[in-house]
Amino acid sequence: MYILPPNNHQSTFNEKEQNMGIADLGNVLKIFGGSEITPEEQQALFEEVLLMVLARASSSDSSIQSIEVRSIQNIVERETGNTISEQDVRKAARTELYETTPLDKYLGSTGGKLTDRDRVAVVHLLAEVIRSDTEVSVLEIDFFNMVAGALKMTAAEVAGLSSES
């Protein structure tokens, strides 16, 4: 179910999707079954959530701008070390992917497995993508609020306020 490869292997969304097999089912069941996950699995989950959220944000206002796609590509590479194509971003943004499991439900079930730092990173990077085309729409604001709510973030967390050192 992981969309992005581990940091030490750069491939594309399509290649990863084609290589996904039954072996990945154990990881998915572990994540959703309440079991503890390894740091590697947690990193892979963060990478998947990040791509899903950012890609979906690019289409939240029904208009995927090239500058948003480039912003997502740059953020994913900067944050994960993985390179993704424009096609990967557009494919991850497609509405059909969210018909069986809406994004808010997906985030609600995976958000508890993310670290607080990862959840904050996702919403801050989401804001970066939303601002990348200089026009922020009401639909994008609604999407941002949905993501923050689905990840069960407090206002302080969204603002980047933390008592952690």
pLDDT tens by residue, 8-59: 333 334 444 433 333 343 444 455 556 678 889 889 999 989 998 999 888 8
pLDDT at 74: 95
Q: Span 79-86, mean pLDDT?
A: 92
Question: Domain spans of the chain?
Answer: 13-153
Q: Report the distance separating Cα 75 and Cα 83, nearest Å.
A: 10
In this prediction the pTM is 0.75
User: Residue length, the chain?
Assistant: 165
* Band of pLDDT at residue 152, cut at 50, 70 and 90: very high
Residue type for position 53: V
> By CB neighbour count within 10 A (0-12 exposed, 13-18 middle, 19+ buried), where does 65 fall?
middle
- Decide if pLDDT at 111 tops 80: yes
- Chosen CATH of 13-153 out of 1.10.3680, 1.10.3470, 1.10.15, 1.10.10: 1.10.3680
Rounded to the nearest integer, the mean pLDDT of the chain is 78
Looking at per-residue confidence, does 1 or 134 come out higher? 134
